[in-house]
Amino acid sequence: MPQLTSWIFAALLIVLLGIAYQVGWSRSRGLVVASGEKLHSRSQYHGSLVAIWALLPAIAILILWGLFGEAITNTYIMGFLPPDVAALTGPQLAQALQRIRSLASGFGVAGTPAEWEVAAGQALAQFQLITLLIVILLAAGIGILAMFIARTRIAPRLRARNEVEAIVRIVLIACSAIAILTTAGIVASLITEAIRFFSFVSPIDFFLGTVWNPVFSSTGGGSGQYGLLPLLWGTIMVSLIAMLVALPIGLMAAIYLNQYASPRVRAVVKPIIEMLAGIPTIVYGFFAIVTVGPFLSSLGDVVGLDVSATSAATAGVVMGIMIIPFISSLSDDILNQVPRAMRDGSYGLGATQSETIIRVLLPAALPGIVGAFLLAVSRAIGETMIVVLAAGNSPVLRANPFEPISTVTVSIVNQLTGDTDFAGPQSLVAFALGLTLFAITLVLNIVALYIVRRFREQYE
Amino acid sequence: MTTTASLAPNTSDDASIRRQRIRAGLTRRHVNETMFRGLGLAAILAALVFVCIFFYTILGKGIPSFQQPVLHLAVTFDPDVITSPTPPARAVGQSDADYRAATLAWQREVAGLNWNRIVEAAVRAKLPATVDMDSRQVLSLVETSERHRLRERFVADPSLIGKTVQLELLASANVDNWLKGNIDRSLSDAQQQLSAPARATADAFLADGTITWRFALSIFSNVDSRAAPAAAGLAGAFMGSLYMMLVVILLAVPIGVASAVYLEEFATKSRLTDIIEVNINNLAAVPSIVFGLLGAAVFINYFHLPLSAPLVGGMVLTLMTLPTIIIATRAALKGVPPSLRQAALGLGASKMQMVFHHVLPVTFPSILTATIIGVAQALGETAPLLLIGMNAFVASVPGSPLDQAAALPVQIYLWQGNENRNFFEARTSAAIIVLLGLMILLNAVAIFLRTRLERRA
């Protein structure tokens, strides 16, 4: 039934759109033929303008009905309920209303319905039909009325194009505001929920605490300890390992592809390495636990180290692999931007290729590479699925990278998954963690983007 | 070197010493050069080796699980077992609700029947008389979902009663593991999932053709299942992902292109547009999980949109994809030659006409590519979906974007955590192959359309 009405509404709007456009178009055409005068705007714009004016009020009415229709219908049914049923609340009342709706739709209810239910059902069916007709007629009527008003405005001098363009401009502005709204939404939701969290746990205990032990209330006993430091340490350790893997490989690969490789090798190898960037992180996580973890663990056995299969090292190495293409393509771009004259000057003085790269190219590209490095770090810090699967989820402060750890992102997932009433510190802490994460990555990004931009301007 | 010698004829000793020093230095420098070059090559090789190991692991584990063992059995719908054979007929004047209640009651009754007995009888018919197995051992060969499939078959066609039908039933996940060697065959009885006679029977069935390998259609046609791993499939997750991608395309593309057009073509350079610009660049680098937190707080908690719904997931992914599309579209708009704009303006087009009739169509290939890349990225995203409840176990195909659903990457997350590791490592890899296949397909389409459209332009 609701689906049917939405189809009716959609059809109504489309028909109205077509008619209104046609009316505006032919009216403006008629003016040209009748008076021979030149119009300010072309007929399409007159048609569009009339269509917009006709649709807006119709849509407004349908939206109003969508917002309040349900409540109005419910109030109407309530009038038919006997006092004892009307006094019910919550799910029982909803169930009673649902029975009446089923009766009204002709589907019926199992068993024999009470007499008042049948009466209410019949009345509701009538009411639904009448309100539907009223809404449709109202929307169509007002739409058509608006259409005729807009039609009378059509004159050779009407600046229809400018009006349509002004409306399009407003739509464009609204669209670009969404990006701002997103940021505002992120900041607002993180801060409000984090403040609620800090009403349970003091910020000092959160930011300086060394124990992470969020006890769920169902297990009883206090509200747990929410120390950020073990998680932050885990995040830093994993990111550090990732950068230790990604920076040398990524940078050297970029240098080789940029300076040494023949165009043919470059054309083949570069896309293959960049393919690593397109693989979803959950797949990397799976790869970490089935291949890299066991491999590192057996490697540890060989050299006599006790290496856990899920550990900071496993997650870090795999995250490093993920970040290699990120570093290599950014560095490649940056190396390309270093002016050729600098390289040629160095060659002219007799330097070998590697000397040119190490003494001229890299110092010149350093700011850009630092920027790329910071962007990569911010990426590593915010990465979630790899650490969820491969880091071992053990939020304890330890220095050994071969033991399980936990990170900020892992704890966000653990604390919030499947729980959305946001009542206790157990779930609210996710927002405090998210706020920390957002702040760290924001600072890193701003610094990195600033450095990269400065670097670009230097050589432009 | 000769010039040095001729300029200072008296110091030929010095010259030769210098020459030697230079030569020694040169050798060292050339060694350094070779080493540096070697390091670069090693980095490339390391990256390529990672790619190879990665695909080798995933393909090696995943491809075998596209094959799965089935049992060919003659199943008899035994009237002794099926004691409630006739569905209720619709009485005159009976309401829809009453009829449905009666039908449901009948189906419940049918569901309460012992379908295991029918499955067991069908397997036993194939067993040699010498084999002694109890019911549990016999039933352990057949996946638990198959008795429900028999029941559904009967409900759909009650006239089957008393008939014998030749059917293919999925072998259980444990049989699959055993026959593929995913479980160590030399393990002792206590550590094996299947009992010794069941293992022997599985081997014998495979030898005599009662069990054959079939393409595992269940991966594509079935929904997720916890009780019956061998029947678990991706259909629900696939539809969930499809709905989300539709939402992303319908929302992110128009909004992204519109805001890029405004920022690039109409907005006057001001403090506000500067802020918007910095803001969009930052949004592109915000960790995806933060978008999940936003979705949980705003869409779920504030607007009370349904949990686990592809619509909400799609909206969260839209916000995540928007910056990508905006940045790419702006870059494309920047690349349009000024002569095109000037020509349009010179012929009397308004600014809006210039942008929409002349500039935007030229950028179409780039926008399309950016959209596809953004959608592919959104398709593989997992973390934000976990926070809006899309990790719930859903054993149905969503009929609309508002129904509960999983998504492909979330399904991978759920499967990799399944306790039947031997079986699900392979099945997860199969799901990964499907996901990667989709992403490669999307990217291939992007490249194809791009080259085609650019050639035409």
Rounded CA gap, A37 and A351, in Å?
Answer: 77
Biggest alpha carbon distance in chain A?
104
Average pLDDT, chain A: 87
Ranges of residues in chain B whose predicted pLDDT is under 50:
1-6
Q: Which residue has the higher pLDDT, B1 or A161?
A: A161
Tokens of B115: 């379908």
Torsion, Cα B409 B415 B417 B419, to 10 degrees, reads 180
- Beta strands A212-213 and B67-76 are unpaired
- Which residue of B277, B291, B293, B436 to mutate against A (max A Cβ within 10 Å)? B293
> Are A81 and A115 contacting, i.e. CB atoms less than 8 angstroms apart?
no
This complex has an ipTM of 0.88
> Are B154 and B111 contacting, i.e. CB atoms less than 8 angstroms apart?
no
- Which residue of B26, B277, B290, B303 to mutate against A (max A Cβ within 10 Å)? B290
The DSSP secondary-structure symbol of A106 reads T
CA distance A141 to chain B (A): 30
Minimal-distance CA residue of chain B relative to A170:
B262
- The pLDDT, as a whole number, for residue A421 is 66
Domain ranges of chain B: 2-63, 65-231, 235-456
**Integer Rg of chain A from CA:** 33
Percent of chain A with pLDDT over 70: 96
> Are B298 and A185 contacting, i.e. CB atoms less than 8 angstroms apart?
yes
Residue A220, sorted as left (phi over 0), alpha (psi -120 to 50) or beta, turns out to be left
Cβ pair B282:A252 closer than 8 A: no
Q: Which residues contact B254 (CB under 8 A, 6 or more apart)?
A: A175
User: Is A279 at the interface with chain B, CB within 8 A?
Assistant: yes
Minimal-distance CA residue of chain B relative to A107:
B96
CA distance A421 to chain B (A): 7
Rounded CA gap, B185 and B183, in Å?
Answer: 6
Report which of B307, B308, B302 is spatially closest to residue B237, judged by C-alpha positions: B308
State the SS3 of A326-387. HHHHHHHHHHHHCCHHHHHHHHHCCCCHHHHHHHHHHHHHHHHHHHHHHHHHHHHHHCCHHH
Name every chain A residue with its beta carbon within 8 A of the beta carbon of B46: 249
Helix B310-334 and helix B235-261, axial crossing angle in degrees, nearest 10: 40
- The pLDDT, as a whole number, for residue B285 is 86
Report which of A285, A311, A246 is spatially closest to residue A386, judged by C-alpha positions: A285
Task: Write the pLDDT tens digit of every residue in B286-310.
Answer: 999 999 999 988 998 888 888 888 9
CA distance B316 to chain A (A): 10
> Are B330 and B264 contacting, i.e. CB atoms less than 8 angstroms apart?
yes
B213: enclosing H helix or E strand: strand B211-215
Report which of B156, B193, B155, B152 is spatially closest to residue B175, judged by C-alpha positions: B193
**Integer Rg of chain B from CA:** 33
- Measured in whole angstroms, the distance separating CA A109 from the mean position of its chain's CA atoms is 43
**A110, A162, A413 ranked by CB distance to B383: nearest:** A413
pLDDT at A405 over 60: yes
- The pLDDT, as a whole number, for residue B2 is 47
Three-state SS at B129: coil
Residue A200 Cα distances to A204, A217, A417, B297, angstroms: 12, 13, 20, 18
pLDDT at A317 over 60: yes
pLDDT at A218 over 70: no
pLDDT at A313 over 50: yes
A419 falls in which pLDDT band (50, 70, 90)? low
Residue with tokens 């910095």: B278
Neighbour count for residue B243 (Cβ, 10 Å):
23
Task: Write the pLDDT tens digit of every residue in B414-457.
Answer: 998 887 878 888 889 999 999 999 999 988 888 888 888 777 65
The CA angle B164-B166-B171, to the nearest 5 degrees, is: 120
Backbone angles phi, psi at B400, to 5 degrees: -150, 165
- The pLDDT, as a whole number, for residue B237 is 92
- The pLDDT, as a whole number, for residue B4 is 47
Tokens of A9: 């509404």
Minimal-distance CA residue of chain B relative to A440:
B286
**A165, A179, A286 ranked by CB distance to B276: nearest:** A179
Determine which of A162-171, A286-295, A420-429, B356-365 has the lowest per-residue pLDDT on average: A420-429
Query: Which CATH superfamily groups domain B235-456?
Result: MetI-like (1.10.3720.10)
Residue A175 Cα distances to A53, A168, A452, B262, B314, angstroms: 21, 11, 28, 9, 17
- Which residue of B26, B36, B100 to mutate against A (max A Cβ within 10 Å)? B36
Three-state SS at B162: coil
Rounded CA gap, A346 and A360, in Å?
Answer: 7
> Are A322 and B47 contacting, i.e. CB atoms less than 8 angstroms apart?
no
The DSSP secondary-structure symbol of A157 reads T
Question: How many angstroms separate the first and last alpha carbons of chain B?
Answer: 59
Residues 81-140 of A with CB under 8 A from B: 102, 106-111
Three-state SS at A162: helix
Task: Write the pLDDT tens digit of every residue in A239-278.
Answer: 999 999 999 999 999 999 999 999 999 999 998 998 888 8
- The pLDDT, as a whole number, for residue A120 is 83
State the SS3 of B272-283. HHHHHHHHHHHH
Cβ pair A180:B279 closer than 8 A: yes
Q: Domains along chain A?
A: 2-157 (no CATH), 208-458 (1.10.3720.10)
Three-state SS at B100: helix
Task: Write the pLDDT tens digit of every residue in A78-100.
Answer: 877 777 777 777 777 778 778 88
